[in-house]
Structure 1
Amino acid sequence: MKWHHVQENWSAFYEAILDKWDDADEAELDEIDGDQRAFVAYIAELTDQDPREAREEIREWLIGEIPADVVMDPTHDNHSIALSSKFVPEGEDEYDDDARFGDDTAG
């Protein structure tokens, strides 16, 4: 992922940040508010590293997956549903709810 994904959806990354750096503090993350330089400085201080080392650690962290709540939007969902159509049996609509997954209401 790219930094702009993190910056645009900063609070959605809190869980991933806290998973990677368990000593991180949500109040501090609130203040950083997606500012990359501030985040590098914060991680450097938190981990007692040189900023270059912290920047490299963050770069490695960015190789990971984008959290699901960041990519869950109607545009992305509809695109994913359309792509999944190759796995749906012929005659079934990929946009239909499937009661087996609890999507349907009894009616």
Structure 2
Amino acid sequence: MKWHHVQANWSAFYEAIIDKWPEADDSDLDEIDGDQRAFVAYLVEATGQEPEEIREELREWLTGEIPSDVVMDPVHDNHSIALSSKFVGEGEDEYSDDARFGDDGDDRDDT
């Protein structure tokens, strides 16, 4: 993941941040509000580590997964739908209503 994912969804990352850096505190994270430099400075102060150590830990942490509540946020729906287009047959529209698919609202027996 990239830092802009973290910054755009800052509060959704609190749990993952505190898992990685137990010294972190929700109220302090609120004040940082996704600012990467402020976050590094905060971790240096909170952990007593050197800035380069924190930057390396942060690089490693960013290789992890994006929390599911960020991925599942409705603001990402259109992007997810567009990505699903590779599974939609030719001539179909990935944004079309799929109510006709399967047995949605159809009680008749097709056997």
SS in 1 for 2:23: coil
Could you tell me the TM-score, scaled by structure 1's length? Answer: 0.71
Q: Distance in 1 between matches of 2:18 and 2:79?
A: 26
Which entry has the higher C-alpha Rg, 1 or 2?
Answer: 2
Distance of 2:65 and 2:78 partners within structure 1: 18
2:81 counterpart (46, 66, 78): 78
- The Cα RMSD (Å) is 3.0
Query: Between Structure 1 and Structure 2, how many residues are aligned?
Result: 96
Q: Which segments of 5 or more consecutive residues in structure 1 lack a partner in the other structure?
A: 86-94, 97-107
**Matched residue, 1:30:** 30
1:6 aligns with 2:32: no
> Could you tell me which residue of structure 1 aligns to residue 43 of structure 2?
43
Q: Percent identity?
A: 64
Deviation, structure 1 residue 80: 6.0
Instruction: Tell me how far 1:63 sits from its aligned partner.
Output: 0.6
Please list the CA deviations of residues 61-101 of structure 1 after superposition, one character each: whole Å capped at 9, or x if unmatched. 0010111111223124434655677xxxxxxxxx67xxxxx
Moved beyond 3 Å, runs of 4+? 79-85
| 1:64 maps onto 2:64 in alignment | yes
Q: In structure 2, what residue type is equivalent to 1:22?
A: P
Distance in 2 of aligned mates of 1:70 and 1:56: 24
Amino acid at match of 1:74: D
Q: Give the 3 Å change call, closer, same or farther, for CA 20–84 of structure 1 in structure 2.
A: farther
Runs of 5+ in structure 2 lacking a partner? 89-97, 100-111
Measure the CA separation in 1 of the matches of 2:16 and 2:57. 14
SS of match in other structure, 2:24: coil
Structure with bigger helix share is 1
